[in-house]
Amino acid sequence: MSNIRRQSLISSIVVYFGFALGFLNTYLFTREGGFTESQYGLTGTFIAIANIMFSFANLGSLAYVYKFYPYYRELPERENDMMALSLIASVSGFAIVMMGGLFFKDLVIRKFSANSPELVQYYYWVFPFGFGLTIYSLFESVAWQLKKSVFTNFLREVLFRLFTTALIILSFAGIIKNFDLFIKLYAFTYLGIALILFSYLAATKKIFLNFSVSKLTRRLRKKILTYAIFIWGGSLVFMIAQMVDTLIIGSVVTEGMAFVGVYTLAQNVASLVQAPQRGIIAASIGPLSQAWKDKDMALINRIYQRSSINQLIFAVGMFALIWLNFTDGVLTFHLRPSYLAARDVFFYIGLMRIIDLGTGLNSQILATSLFWRFEFLTGMVLLVLALPLNYFLAKYMGVVGPAISNLIAFTIYNAIRYFFLLKRFNMQPFSLKSLYAILLGIAAYYLCFLLFNNYQGFGWILLRSVVFMVVYGGAVILLKLTPDIQQVWGSVKARFKR
C-alpha cells in the first residue's frame, strides 16, 4: 500500500496543479471580454465527442493491457507483442470511427444545425482531437503498468492544459487572429502529448513493437478476446452515458452551444471534486491486476476500503469548498453573468462525483477480476437510465436537467455494483468513518456559511476557504479518519522538526 499511497499522493499533487491550470484556462475562456459562451461550449463538446470516439476506437485494447500485462511481463521483451496488438486494434478502431463519422454526418447536421451550428462548422476537426486522445490513452495504460502514473498524469493534466493556455494567450495577443485558427490548433493538442509519451517510452526502452504473435497470445487468445470485448462494451456504454449530457444540451436546448458553455463550466469546476480519483486509479491498476492473479483478496479489500475513504474525504471537502465560493467567484473574477446559472448544475454534478468517489475503485476491481462481464451489464443499466433521463429532463428543465439525470443514474449504477461486491466477495468500502467525513463536511460548510456568507471579494474567498480547510482538515486528522492521511501528516510534521 505504501507504493500506491506514494504514487497516489504525488499524482494527486500533479493533478491538482493541472486543475489550477484548468481553472486559469476556464477563467480566460469565461471572463467578460474573452471567448463567447458558444466558443467555450465548443471546446467542451470536442472533449465529450473525443471521449466517445476513444471509447469506441480502443476496441478493448486498454482492458487487455490492464488485465493481462502481468502475464506478458514474464515474456522476453523482444517477444512481447502486447503493445503492437493494442496499437493495431486502436488504429483500426479509429478508422471505423472515421468511416462512421462520415456516414452519419448528415444526421449530425440535422440534429445540431439549428441550436449548435458551431459543431457543424468544425465537425471534421473533432477527428484529430479524438485520435490523439485514443493513442495517448493506449500509451498511458502501458505506462501505468510500468508505474509511470506520475508522468502520465503530468502529461494529461498539466501539459495538455499548458498547450491550451498557450493557445488562449496567443489569441489574446493577436498572434492567433481568430477563433477559427484557435480551434483548429486545439484539435491537435492530444496528439502532441501522445507523441511525447510514445517518445519517452521508446527512448527508455519500455515498449517494443513486435508484430509477430507470441505463443502466450495464441494460448490466451480466447480469454483475451472474450474479456476485451465485454470490458470494451461496458466502458463504451459507460462513456456514452457520461458524455451524452453535453451532446443532448447542444441538440435539444434552444440556447444550444451557449448553454453547453454553462454546463462545461459546471463540469470543469466539478472535476476538482474528482481530482484524486485519477491518481488513485493510476497507482492501483497494476497492484489490483497482480492481486487477482495471486488471489490476494486481503489486498484487494484493503485497496477498496482505502480508496473509498480517501476519495470521500477529498470529494466532500472540495465540494463544500466550491459550493461556499461559487457565486462569489463568478462575481469577483468578472466572469460573464450567464455563468451564474452553472452553480445549480455544479450542485448536482458535484453530488454525483461524491457518490462515485465514495464507492471506491469498484469499477477497477470488477474490470481486473474474473467477474468482468458484470462491468458490461452494469454499464448497460447506466446507459438505459441515462439516455432517456438526459433527453427528457434537458427538454423540460433546460441546462440543469442532465445534471439531475446523471445524479439519479450514477447513484443507481454505483448501488448495483456495491451490492454485487458485498454479496459475492463480502467486501464493502464504508465504515463509521465514512459517515464522519460527510458530517464534518456539512458542519464545516455551515460554520463558514454563517460566518462569511454576507461578504464578497477575493479576500473573503481566501478567508472563507482557509477557515473551512483548517476546520475540516483538522477534524479529519484529529479523528484519524484514514491511516494514509495520518502517515502523510506524520511525515510533514517530521520534516518541520528537522
**Residue 92: other Cβ atoms inside 10 A:** 13
Please state whether the predicted TM-score (pTM) of the whole model is above 0.75. Answer: yes
Distance of alpha carbon 417 from alpha carbon 358, whole angstroms: 13
Q: Which residues contact 435 (CB under 8 A, 6 or more apart)?
A: none
Best mean pLDDT range from 95-99, 154-158, 398-402: 95-99
From residue 36, alpha-carbon distances to 19, 41, 118, 136 in Å are 22, 8, 12, 29
* DSSP letter string, 290-317: HHHHHT-HHHHHHHHHHHHHHHHHHHHH
- Do 230 and 376 contact (CB within 8 A), yes or no? yes
Residue spans of the domains in the chain: they are: 2-430
State the sign of the Cα–Cα–Cα–Cα dihedral 144, 149, 152, 157. Answer: positive
Q: What are the grid coordinates assigned to 272, written together?
A: 476538482
Q: Give 60's DSSP letter.
A: T
Q: What is the pLDDT, as a whole number, of residue 491?
A: 46
- In order of 13, 184, 207, 352, the CA distances from 23 in angstroms are 15, 22, 34, 21
pLDDT of 277 reads 75
Average pLDDT over residues 122-135: 95
- Find out whether 379 and 234 touch, Cβ atoms under 8 Å: yes
Query: With 0-12 CB in 10 A as exposed, 13-18 as middle and 19+ as buried, what is 295?
Result: exposed
122 CA to centre of own chain = 24
Grid cell 457565486 is found at 327
Q: How far is CA 286 from the centre of its chain?
A: 19
- Dihedral-angle region of residue 33 (phi above 0 means left; psi in -120 to 50 means alpha; beta otherwise): left
Among 44, 318, 465, smallest CA distance to 35 is for 44
pLDDT tens-digit map of 178-230 = 999 999 999 999 999 999 999 998 888 777 787 888 888 888 888 888 888 88
Q: Is the pLDDT of residue 490 over 70?
A: no
Q: Enumerate helices (H) and strands (E) in the chain, giving the number of each.
A: 21, 0
The pLDDT value given to residue 214 = 86
Q: Which of 214, 206, 171, 207 is nearest to 39 (CA)?
A: 171
Q: How far apart are CA 280 and CA 482, in angstroms?
A: 15
Average pLDDT, stretch 395-421? 91
In the structure grid, which three cell numbers stand for residue 147, read together?
Answer: 508505474
255 pLDDT band, cuts 50/70/90, is low
- Place 31 in a pLDDT band, splitting at 50, 70 and 90: confident
Q: How many other CB atoms are there within 10 angstroms of residue 333's CB atom?
A: 15
Please tell me the predicted confidence (pLDDT) of residue 437.
Answer: 94
